[in-house]
Amino acid sequence: MDYVTPTTAMEASKALAQDGAFALAGGTDLLVKLKTKFVSPSVIVDIKQVPKIMSIENSTDGWWIGAAVPCAEISEHESLRQDWPGLVESLSLIGSTQIQGRATLGGNLCNASPAADSVPALIAAYGTCIISGQSGDREEPIENIVTSPGVTVLEKGEFILGFKLPKPESGTGDAYLRLIPRSEMDIAIVGAGTSVSVDKDKKITSIRVALGAIAPTQIILDGLEDLFIGKEPNENSINKLISIAESACRPIKDKRGTVEYRTKIAGVLAKRTLTIAYKRAINH
């Protein structure tokens, strides 16, 4: 097994195009898989020296978060937290302090676990990612990347350079909650990420709810516009949100939770994240 440290995106793509090549960001998934012989790469491509992959930038176009910035560094970024508090909360839940020192958004997405904590929050925040490959860069919405557990749309030689988030208009709020059986260090039974924007009359102008861990990939709930746009949330629309969330669930059953429990919790977390995001939106 070789180890290479490309210093340009093109070199990284070329290295990743080789048979058996794996990208290495924080290694908190990959090194566990190496240890357990789940994967046996021919070459490890440490992408952390590629330009822009380790930077966080705030411009008039919105936010750039490099794919290999460790979560601990992202959560120290105060103005990002002000703009997208739910996203920062989601990535702060990944693992322990030690894991936070290494884990990245690129790795969380490309590991392609249905329970990845940052992914529903990135989707809810209308995030996109820049994919670098040998023929240049392309931009894709986050929800298009994972196709099934452990599988992404990335082609040979492609990797994620970073994430773009819009600059939130005033009156925007987001939230992420997950349920785990322990109070720390566990895998989500359900994760829910929600963002809403409101006008000056507190009426909702946009809404997005994404759920994780309840299906093979993260899911964006359908049919919320008709229920919420142009109105304040009320008991009726929130009850409908709960049933939409429940009927979107196709969860697995394991020692962490039964199908019934996960389905019930999906509705609960959809409701709670909407409540928090809405409160943040009217105060933003």
Partner 1 sequence: MPKTHISTQINGDSYEFLCNTQQTLLDVLRQELDLKGSKEGCATGDCGACSVMMDDRLVCACLVLGAEADGKKIETVEGLSSGSSLDPLQQKFIDLAALQCGICTPGVLVAARALLEKNKSPSEEEVRFWLAGNLCRCTGYDKIVRAVLEVAAEARNA
Ligand X SMILES: Cc1cc2nc3c(=O)[nH]c(=O)nc-3n(C[C@H](O)[C@H](O)[C@H](O)COP(=O)(O)OP(=O)(O)OC[C@H]3O[C@@H](n4cnc5c(N)ncnc54)[C@H](O)[C@@H]3O)c2cc1C
Residues contributing to the site for ligand X (CB under 6 A): 22-30, 32, 47, 67, 93-95, 99, 102-104, 106-108, 110-111, 116-117, 154, 159-160, 185
Residue 105 amino acid letter: L
- List, in order, residues 6 or more apart from 183 with CB less than 8 Å away: none
SS3 79: helix
Report what 80 binds from ligand X, partner 1, none; CB cut-off 5-8 Å by kind: none
Edge-to-edge strands, sheet with 43-46:
2-4, 43-46, 21-24
CA distance 49 to 238: 46
Identify what 116 binds: ligand X, partner 1, none; CB under 5 to 8 Å per kind. Answer: ligand X
CB 40 to partner 1: min, Å:
10
Looking at the Cβ atoms of 238 and 252, the one nearer to ligand X is 252
Site for partner 1 in 70-99 (CB under 8 A): 70, 72-73, 95-99
Residues 23-62 binding partner 1 (CB under 8 A) are 24, 26-28, 31-32, 34-36, 44, 46
User: What's the one-letter identity of residue 272?
Assistant: R
**What are the distances in angstroms from CA 170 to CA 111, 205, 281?**
33, 12, 8
What x-and-dash track marks residues 176-215 binding partner 1 by CB under 8 A?
--------xx------------------------------
Q: Tell me the CA distances in angstroms from 27 to 64, 92, 102, one per residue in order.
A: 22, 17, 7
Segment contacting partner 1 by CB under 8 A, of 69-77, 115-123, 154-162, 269-277: 69-77
Angle of the 259-282 helix axis to the 85-92 helix axis, nearest 10: 140
Residue 106 interacts, among ligand X, partner 1, none and using kind-specific CB cut-offs from 5 to 8 Å, with ligand X
Nearer to partner 1, 73 or 140 (CB): 73
Q: How far apart are CA 200 and CA 284, in angstroms?
A: 11
State whether residue 65 is helix, strand or coil: strand
CA dist., res. 99 & res. 280, Å (int): 29
CB of 213 to ligand X, least distance (A): 9
**151 interacts with partner 1 by CB under 8 A:** no
Binding site for partner 1 (CB under 8 A): 1-3, 24, 26-28, 31-32, 34-36, 44, 46, 70, 72-73, 95-99, 101-102, 184-185
